[in-house]
Structure 1
């Protein structure tokens, strides 16, 4: 039996056609149906996926019901593809899941065969062991076929077992009949709308039922997306974004397979493929721009165009393959007209010794030897190689001799360089959504690019929440001229654990210590935060609130009171102060407040306030007499900005600016006015640390000098002490010799000298002890000062690292010097770009301002703010 139903190879997850005998990608042999029906396989696949916690039972039921609906309209998408495209199961996990499913089916088959007394337990065990050995040799064969080959089972017995093993399909819900008429693409986009939190499951089901009811009418010809748009369920922008995500998911699926094939053919390493896929992901995440993996690999010169073309043709991606086919050889047309042109040197060349034609590629990584016009030998070829400076990667002499002997008309690669292996920077991989509330940026066309939006992340105790992916060093290459191709040193990164989190022993993984909401600060510290709720106002009853977590205030922050925390939600702010490391949401408005947020602010109105944020600022009604600075977008899309200074790096969108009687506003676009203010305390702390460090070093110099002087003094006294002891020893020996003799030297003189020396030695001992005590004290002070110096240096470097991280965070936000006014902007309003300024000369309506860069007649750069009608 051949493959009857499963559509993914259990070895590599490559798509398999029905009745295929082998996988076209990895060449594994498919010699069995592995079961009685497709439905048995699909349900078992789902059962194992749920059991291994790859997805929930509800998720599988939903996708399975949709799969049944699509089958009824003859749609060709497989259950595996739907599970992968939904984001529930990765391609790698799918390969493992398919293999496990097939194996489970065969174990169940053998168990049933033993129960019915068709075979013994030993025979079943042997069949499964043999199957496992064949699988390692890339031969996929069912236990049923193996038992049949050994004459242990007949066709009738196998058929009975498969029929008994089969299970009924899951019952689809009542809406399946209605859904079958919805185009597959629309249902996928609808599924993404739920996934990205534009709609809930219940809302989507409700709209499908409404649309299905309308579809019964012959006069109703709108597809599902048109219905969602016209009924304002989804906006045009949201549908566009979801469509882009749909296309990205499809592209990624193709590109993952492209990467697997490239690695399989040994064109490239798995590390380089993963790096390129990460680049693709970041480009889409930041710019919502689709760029294929082959294009990235070509631009990075990690794959040759002919290698890319080969894989694209195998994937049947004809359009993209055509692009790379054109790039393969710019002289292809000339070669087709005159084949000798490529393979033979010019006549003029044949007159010289340079009749041996060797061409070096532009990147100096390959040299081609063309067939000589006349007889030549290897020594002449080696001579030409030497003259051209080709010293590395030259092929073996025997290969050259064989080429000359064959008299081929095609060139041969006589030398090949070794490409460099690019390094991979260290990175922090978070196992939770980091930007779940970001709004986006305004592009040059005036459209807002939204980031993905999802549920607020939460974790349980002892859950892995982030890990450091270590850096990988590159490897220098070598071109055929012997020049080393250098590689950059990869950047390392530190991972830190804040409140509610802990680092493992390797200091590379962060685990939660308590349930709560995971959070990563802009300097890389990862915390797990809980919630503090204030049931009322922040005033004299509560005092200031400083809580290292999320804060919900069911009242007003009153004048002079300060709230510090992560995400902060409050009803109203009246002359209060907020400092948040996360998001701030003010349900009513801000009057006379000072708000600072690292990740975004949302409010109903802002009046006479100072507002600063790295993230987007969204205001529903108006901003009046206020100073607002953000590295993100400032959005008052349905309200007014009056007599205010607004600075937004990622652009401003507003309905109206100023009134006929108000003071003019100043709008800064495309610059980071908030960055300097945010970094000021860091810079101040660095200066303070530097001064402390200088004081510590000065003190260290004094201590070391005092220690040096003490050391000399102790050494000098120690010598005198040693000499005194030696003199005392000799006197005592002399005294013992003359005792009882008639020595001329009186004994009392000797005793007097001995006594004097003993006193002197004792005094030296006391003096030495004091010096040693002082030296110990100084050594202790030196050790302490060294520790202070070390800590000061570490603190300075940490502050520098934090500043660099914050600057990098800000630099990653693409400047967008764009101001969109949907209503009117009054005369006198000032618009400042990074390099230019404009004062509005007359009242204008529905207009877009953006800074452009050009040149004057002499070629000098000029920067102007241009005004266009808003589309």
Structure 2
């Protein structure tokens, strides 16, 4: 049976170097070890043995001792550097520089400086950090020393010290050379031969290093020699345990299969938190003209009604990033995940764990550009909006079962009515008019549907869909404009294009059509910017008010302190006067004078007390006013943050929905109709039938960098 690994003789470095430099043979070393096995200092005993037997000359012995001392120092220095990198005190580049400088000192036979001292002198490491590593190395050395003391070595079997049991000290997985230690040859860099005839292979991603034995493997190679060779290659992180490496050295295998000697730590990339919605938020997706001139509404459908308690959205938490490093100790870049908040508007609430958003009331869910989720209830008027009802403002959906009369306003989320007759609508969502819009003004962040539009102004973020005609109107939309009839004498801007049956008549003035341009978004961003600037000024205004209140409060505190001093002095003086009265005895006149002074002091103290009470009341009011200013600033900053989110979401939405500069007409386009794209325009000079007009990018033979757009007319 093989002896336990801990009972093996550790061969001194001078013996290994002597064999390596062919000064002695392995047999000479085995004989020397057997002869000196009982010595307390084996290295010193070997030195004296080789010199006394004249096997190695004094000059060569001196060289061996210097080399052994240098190797011992360098091993400690490599270990020092490895610990420094693992602790994050320095990086690989810094270690390489100081080791090279130390190597130059050795080659030029200058006094060798320790890399710890060099790093401290250069300001790259703190003295405390250096001492920490040195103490750690000393502790490790002492533990090794203690564990080796008292271990008996059998002098009769020196060969065992040189040729340990191949499987001794090697874990089961390594003995069988399986379980993940093998590597894919296609993922490895070119192999290198290092100390002791060992082949070193490194993965292309620098996340693993593998060792295997060549035909000329030196079985006398030591653990320290292998680790030094790895350190010299810069492999300092994720090294296998010493007993694993020793097991590799002693094993008779690992000639066809490899041993993984180092492994990096793979990073975990962060993943953004996201929100999963359980209701339709696609009202923000505008319609898109299809190739045949139709319009695709993405089948958005109706926004559903939800009951109270319905889960509307759930937050999928972010995955936090974890740093990793390769076998060289180089940190691998990671992308941190970004968090996102669930935002509740009116009618919605957060679950107890804060990860779900629930309907607080029954109603219609709505996702706003600011990121808030609302649940809107519905307000219904049974007749017209006129002098009887007055203006209608409702934080929810509005259903007008009549007309919206001239000059009257309706504000809400989704708004529907029978007709608009000079009325004004402001909607956070969609507008649906069963009849027509006549001389009306409509602003909507959704779509607008109507039977006809006459002499009206429509501004919306979505689509404008008209059943019969648009006459003498101004329309700006970020979606498409579809008229299942005529477009007459109007100014239309539709980012996603226009489709109509007829454009113009013989008796009407020409229409001006803009396509591919997002006028709505541009104006919204300008309004948003103005609101943000206004709120910023409001924050500054309230901040200045708070600063003024702070100054008043400090002045008041000084007054309170002064009044308190008056009271204190009054009490002291009264006490002194009372003492004098007692001392005067029967001197009535003097006592009377002193009593009069006491009364004056009491009146002054009372007046100070009244002033003090007034100051405290005023102080309370100032503190309340300061707290109110803080609340105002907090509320303003919250609104400002919402506007910034709204701005960012609007920009993102605009980028995700690029314009479609297309006009499709199933009937006639009359002459003088002006069609403007983002880059060019075209005035129709003759009657066109069944036409499709698109702004397209053309190639130019005159210059490679010349960009030319033109309006291209084709048939549908």
The TM-score normalised by the length of structure 2 is 0.62
The change in CA–CA distance for 1:651 and 1:340 in structure 2 (over 3 A counts) is same
Partners of 2:292 and 2:208 in 1: CA distance: 47
**Change in CA separation of 1:731 and 1:344 when aligned onto 2, cut-off 3 Å:** closer
CA–CA distance in structure 1, aligned partners of residues 211 and 699 of structure 2: 48
Distance 1:739 1:861 in 2: 116
Inter-CA distance 552–714: structure 2 relative to 1 (3 Å threshold): closer
Partner residue in 2 for 1:597: 444
Match of residue 341, structure 2, among 486, 493, 498: 493
Q: Give the unaligned 5+ runs of structure 1.
A: 1-338, 741-745
> Is residue 683 of structure 2 the alignment partner of residue 849 of structure 1?
no
Higher RCO, 1 or 2 (CA under 8 Å, sep at least 6)?
A: 2
Q: Distance in 2 between matches of 1:761 and 1:853?
A: 99
Q: Residue in 2 aligned with 1:5?
A: none
2:98 aligns with none
Spell out, residue by residue over 1:414-463, the C-alpha distance to the aligned partner (whole angstroms, 9 max, x if none): 42332224233252x44433447966334789775542445652233x33
Mapping 1:534-573, distance limit 5 Å: 534-573=381-420
**Aligned positions of 1:161-180 closer than 5 A:** none
Match of 1:837 among 649, 660, 680: 680
Give yes or no for contact 1:576–1:593 (8 Å, CA) kept in 2. yes
**Residues 706-739 of structure 1: per-residue CA shift (max 9 Å, x gap):** 3323333333443344234223312322332342
- Residues 484-633 of structure 1 mapped to structure 2, 5 A cutoff: 484-499=332-347, 501-503=348-350, 509-512=356-359, 514-633=361-480
2:625 matched residue in structure 1: 784
Q: Which residue of 2 aligns with 1:725?
A: 571
Question: Structure 1 residues 523 and 698, CA, compared in 2 at 3 Å: closer, same or farther?
Answer: closer
Confirm or deny: 8 A CA contact 1:641 1:656 kept in the other structure: yes
Cα distance in 2 for residues equivalent to 1:526 and 1:351: 65
- What is the rounded CA distance, in whole Å, between the counterparts of 1:342 and 1:576 in structure 2? 72
- 1:698-777 map, 5 Å: 698-739=544-585, 746=587, 748-777=589-618
SS at match of 1:816: coil
Q: Distance in 2 between matches of 1:459 and 1:706?
A: 53
1:795–1:353 Cα change, 3 Å: farther
After TM superposition, list the pairs within 5 Å mapping 1:189-268 onto structure 2.
none
Distance change (3 Å), C-alpha of 1:691 and 1:514: closer
Question: Residue 331 of structure 2 is aligned with which of 456, 464, 483?
Answer: 483
- Partner of residue 672, structure 1: 518
Please name the residue that 1:407 is paired with: 255
Q: Which residue of 1 aligns with 2:487?
A: 641
**Counterparts of 1:602 and 1:579 in 2: how far apart (Å)?**
14
Please give the alpha-carbon distance, in whole angstroms, between the structure 2 residues aligned to 1:415 and 1:627.
68
Matched, 1:417 2:265: yes
- 2:657 corresponds to which of 793, 797, 814: 814
CA RMSD of aligned residues (A): 4.2
**1:864 alignment partner in structure 2:** 709
- What is the match of residue 217 of structure 2? 375
Tell me the SS of whatever aligns to 2:608: helix
Aligned residues: 519
Partner of 2:40: none
Task: After superposition, give the CA deviation of every residue in 1:38-82 in whole Å (9 maximum; x if it has no partner).
Answer: xxxxxxxxxxxxxxxxxxxxxxxxxxxxxxxxxxxxxxxxxxxxx
Please give the secondary structure, in 1, of the residue aligned with 2:496: coil
- In the aligned structure 1, how far is the partner of 2:189 from the partner of 2:315? 52
Report matched runs for 1:654-669 at 5 Å: 654-658=500-504, 662-669=508-515
Q: Which residue of 1 aligns with 2:317?
A: 471
Q: Which structure is higher in helix share?
A: 1
Indicate conservation of the 8 Å contact 1:343/1:411, yes or no: no
The DSSP-based 3-state class of the residue aligned with 1:621 is strand
Q: In the alignment, is the contact (CA less than 8 A) between 2:567 and 2:609 conserved in 1? A: no
- Describe the SS at the equivalent of 1:620: strand
- What's the CA shift string for 1:775-808, capped at 9, x where partnerless? 4314412322332233233223324314423540
Where 1:611 maps in the other structure, the secondary structure is strand
- For each residue in 1:112-170, what CA deviation from the matched residue of structure 2 results, as whole angstroms up to 9, or x when unmatched? xxxxxxxxxxxxxxxxxxxxxxxxxxxxxxxxxxxxxxxxxxxxxxxxxxxxxxxxxxx
Check conservation: 2:577, 2:598, Cα contact below 8 A.
no
SS at match of 2:435: strand
Structure ID, larger Rg: 2
> Structure 1 pair 444/775, CA: closer, same or farther in 2 (3 Å)?
farther
How far off its partner does 1:828 sit? 5.2
TM-score for both structures, normalised by structure 1: 0.52
